């Protein structure tokens, strides 16, 4: 049975941010991972989070999910105070983890049905399988799927609870260029349904193609935020690609920190 439509956020600028983070700090054994990170994400937007390895992206995302406690700062996800209550928003968010986390011995049907049962409100497994071209693989073990098929299962899983916010961790890593493009279309479709989508990526073409907003973080701080076009325009003359803009902003942060 199809799910009743969940009320979707009103357009950006008129509503509580989907994510609102202020002065977030997190230190591991005295080493800072996040250093006063502040940012806001409008409901219904698609946002790319990019930054060098070690920039603090995973730490940030894990805090949003309620899996890590920040040392200081405020974290609001879908209007919910995650620091005060790290689990209260979990049924309203969906997360696509990396492929290695899939239970390889379960069939696709068992896998999706298992997680569907965890939520009082969940999507129909058959309908999800249709949307993600997985019908022919429902009785195949997850471990036997190709990389692209596994990623589709992981994305279907992220949507099993009809989430308002979807967090995707490097959703197309390792996929061939054609499969990547097909995957972008699936992500775009989710955004088109009013969901807020936050994804991490190292691929600038992916950020440019999918994101309304790009958040660049480096050494635990936000170093630039804006649409791909704005980020290029705000960089010095001669910068004409998002790759160049990214290199510019990360270099500026490194010089400032030195």
Per CB under 6 A, does 28 bind ligand ADP? yes
Dihedrals φ, ψ of 92, to 5°? -100, 0
Per CB under 6 A, does 56 bind ligand ADP? yes
Among residues 58, 74, 230, 241, which is the contact residue for ligand ADP, using CB under 6 A? 58
From the number of C-beta atoms within 10 Å of its C-beta (0-12, 13-18, 19+), residue 238 rates as exposed
Tell the smallest beta-carbon distance from residue 197 to ligand ADP (Å). Answer: 18
Per CB under 6 A, does 55 bind ligand ADP? yes
Tell the smallest beta-carbon distance from residue 142 to ligand ADP (Å). Answer: 25
Q: Where are the beta strands (DSSP E) in the chain?
A: 19-28, 31-41, 46-50, 72-77, 80-81, 93-96, 165-169, 196-200, 213-218, 221-226
Dihedrals φ, ψ of 228, to 5°? -50, -40
Instruction: Name which of 33 and 157 has its Cβ closer to ligand ADP.
Output: 33
Among residues 45, 46, 50, 59, which is the contact residue for ligand ADP, using CB under 6 A? 59
Per CB under 6 A, does 53 bind ligand ADP? yes
Tell the smallest beta-carbon distance from residue 246 to ligand ADP (Å). Answer: 13
Instruction: Name which of 60 and 111 has its Cβ closer to ligand ADP.
Output: 60
H helix runs in 23-69, sequence order: 57-64
Find how far residue 165's CA is from the centre of its chain. Answer: 8
Question: Token pair 């890590």 is at which residue?
Answer: 68
Per CB under 6 A, does 98 bind ligand ADP? no
Q: How far, in Å, CA of 152 to CA of 163, rounded?
A: 16
Q: How far, in Å, CA of 96 to CA of 58, rounded?
A: 13
Total residues contacting ligand ADP by CB under 6 A comes to: 10
Per CB under 6 A, does 248 bind ligand ADP? no
Considering only 50-58, 89-97, 141-149, 226-234, which stretch makes contact with ligand ADP by CB under 6 A? 50-58
Tell the smallest beta-carbon distance from residue 65 to ligand ADP (Å). Answer: 13
Instruction: Name which of 63 and 242 has its Cβ closer to ligand ADP.
Output: 63
Ramachandran area for residue 219 (φ above 0: left; ψ -120 to 50: alpha; else beta): left
Per CB under 6 A, does 250 bind ligand ADP? no
Considering only 53-61, 69-77, 113-121, 156-164, which stretch makes contact with ligand ADP by CB under 6 A? 53-61
Q: How far, in Å, CA of 155 to CA of 252, rounded?
A: 35
Among residues 51, 70, 163, 171, which is the contact residue for ligand ADP, using CB under 6 A? 51
Q: Is the Cβ–Cβ distance between 184 and 172 less than 8 Å?
A: yes
> Rule CB under 6 A: which residues touch ligand ADP?
28, 33, 51, 53-59
């Amino acid at each position: 049975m199809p799910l009743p439509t969940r009320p979707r956020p009103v357009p950006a600028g008129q509503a509580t941010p989907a994510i609102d983070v202020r002065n977030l700090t997190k230190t591991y054994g005295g080493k800072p991972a996040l250093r006063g990170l502040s940012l806001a994400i409008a409901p219904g937007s698609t946002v790319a989070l990019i930054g060098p390895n070690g920039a603090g992206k995973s730490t940030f995302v894990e805090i949003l999910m309620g899996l890590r406690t920040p040392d200081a700062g405020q974290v609001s996800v879908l209007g919910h105070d995650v620091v005060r209550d790290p689990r209260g928003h979990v049924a309203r968010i969906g997360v696509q983890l990396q492929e290695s986390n899939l239970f390889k011995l379960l069939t696709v049907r068992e896998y999706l049905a298992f997680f569907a049962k965890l939520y009082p409100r969940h999507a129909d497994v058959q309908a999800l399988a249709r949307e993600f071209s997985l019908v022919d693989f429902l009785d195949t073990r997850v471990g036997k799927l190709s990389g692209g098929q596994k990623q589709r299962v992981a994305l279907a899983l992220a949507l099993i609870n009809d989430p308002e916010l979807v967090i995707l961790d490097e959703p197309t890593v390792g996929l061939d260029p054609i499969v990547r493009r097909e995957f972008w279309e699936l992500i775009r479709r989710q955004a088109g349904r009013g969901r807020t989508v936050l994804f991490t990526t190292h691929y600038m073409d992916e950020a440019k193609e999918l994101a309304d907003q790009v958040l660049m973080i480096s050494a635990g701080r936000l170093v630039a935020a804006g649409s791909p076009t704005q980020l290029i325009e705000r960089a010095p003359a001669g910068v004409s690609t998002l790759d160049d803009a990214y290199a510019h902003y990360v270099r500026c942060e490194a010089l400032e920190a030195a």
